[in-house]
């Protein structure tokens, strides 16, 4: 069923299918935010009988957000920022009254306290917005100020509880992110080999642009891997996944490094193609083989525990490519060709590390 829906979405125009996939990937965080907002409001308004406890759902939503990463930190920063803003607003406005210059003063004081306490961006922003609300719309002082601070605490706690009790599968999202980056470079490597064989600078230039455009995907991958580890620490449902998440997270640096090395290869290949230089066929073949290496690594990342291909299968493919990437290929070559082979050898080391090897073992594989 899921496969049929995915094929139908893929058949839609690209802008529409991209937006639908983005919505699907965000469906669990959206649900978490909606549930947390409602629960926080109910607890503050019904259980505690607070009048208009709008800080509670706001705190719940902001502490969760759509990103998996640093939810603990966001919740703490939010509650602290709102508390600072409310207390500063209550104290200062009660003393100097409300008005234009008073808003300036209270916002400056709240932000100054927040910046002094922490260097994160969320804390001063929440302190400033809360102080501004107190200075403009809310009556300062008394029990209302304490209730607003409690509402913010309720929202932050509810947000974390919702993550623990209604989590998304952290391993699945991390694996999907890593597989997406690997698939992008898989296709780029195949196109780069084709462009080099044809001496087509336009194709090589397009490959370089696509490789450079992966940084957003890599940043998302890193954030989701960090968020996955956080979820596995918070939620009892995924305590058993901690070791697997650690293995997935360990691939972040080598995947990132392999993409950076691929960009260097593509950039140097573009300069050669534009200058009319021809890269020797043996090196082009290595680039083409790397497309298959990225594919088996992509399949490895998506395989279920104990499934195939596994790390040993991926390492076997990469060792075959490593044997081709001999230093003597460029014994009498130009600087550009020598540089490309050197980057390819570094890239192979990165991919061997994605396949589970330590850096020393991966580098030993390339010894001539």
Query: Please, what are the domains in the chain?
Result: 27-165 (no CATH), 170-365 (1.20.58.220)
Q: pLDDT tens digits for 331-358?
A: 777 888 888 999 999 999 999 999 988 8
* 268 in Cβ contact with 216 (< 8 Å): no
Angle at 215 between CA 289 and CA 168, to 5 degrees: 95
Residue 231: pLDDT above 60?
yes
Q: Which residues contact 306 (CB under 8 A, 6 or more apart)?
A: none
161 vs 158: CA distance, rounded Å: 5
284 vs 264: CA distance, rounded Å: 15
168 vs 235: CA distance, rounded Å: 10
Q: pLDDT tens digits for 30-62?
A: 887 888 888 889 998 888 888 778 778 887 887
Q: What is the largest CA-CA distance in the chain?
A: 83
251 vs 263: CA distance, rounded Å: 18
User: Is the entire prediction scored with pTM above 0.85?
Assistant: no
Show the DSSP H helices in 251-305 as ranges.
Answer: 252-274, 281-302
Q: pLDDT tens digits for 239-287?
A: 566 666 677 777 888 999 999 999 999 999 999 999 888 888 999 999 9
């Amino acid at each position: 069923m899921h496969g049929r829906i995915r094929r139908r979405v893929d058949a839609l125009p690209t802008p529409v299918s991209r937006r639908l996939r983005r919505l699907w990937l965000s469906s669990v965080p959206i649900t978490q935010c909606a549930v947390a907002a409602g629960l926080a409001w109910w607890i503050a308004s019904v259980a505690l009988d607070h009048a208009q406890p709008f800080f509670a759902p706001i705190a719940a939503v902001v502490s969760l957000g759509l990103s998996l990463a640093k939810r603990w930190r966001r919740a703490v920063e939010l509650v602290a920022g709102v508390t600072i803003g409310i207390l500063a607003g209550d104290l200062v406005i009660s003393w100097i009254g409300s008005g234009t210059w008073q808003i300036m003063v209270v916002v400056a004081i709240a932000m100054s306290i927040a910046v002094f306490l922490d260097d994160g961006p969320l804390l001063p922003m929440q302190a400033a917005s809360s102080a501004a609300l107190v200075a403009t719309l809310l009556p300062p002082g008394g029990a209302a100020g304490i209730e607003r601070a409690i509402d913010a605490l309720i929202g932050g706690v509810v947000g974390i509880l919702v993550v623990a009790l209604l989590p998304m599968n952290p391993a699945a999202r991390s694996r999907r992110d890593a597989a997406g980056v690997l698939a992008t470079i898989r296709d780029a490597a195949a196109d780069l080999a084709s462009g080099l064989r044809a001496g087509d600078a336009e194709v090589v230039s397009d490959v370089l642009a696509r490789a450079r455009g992966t940084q957003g995907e890599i940043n998302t991958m890193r954030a989701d891997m960090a968020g996955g580890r956080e979820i596995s620490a918070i939620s009892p449902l995924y305590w058993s996944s901690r070791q697997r998440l650690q293995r997935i997270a360990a691939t972040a640096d080598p995947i990132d490094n392999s993409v950076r090395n691929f960009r260097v290869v593509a950039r140097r290949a573009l300069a050669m193609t534009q200058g009319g230089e021809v890269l020797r066929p043996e090196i082009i073949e290595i680039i083409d083989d790397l497309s298959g290496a990225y594919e088996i690594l992509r399949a490895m990342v998506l395989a279920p525990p104990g499934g195939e291909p596994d790390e040993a299968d991926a390492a076997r493919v990469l060792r075959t490519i490593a044997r081709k990437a001999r230093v003597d290929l460029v014994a009498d070559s130009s600087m550009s060709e020598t540089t490309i082979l050197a980057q390819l050898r570094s890239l192979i080391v990165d991919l061997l590390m994605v396949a589970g090897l330590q850096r020393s073992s991966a580098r030993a594989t390339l010894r001539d």
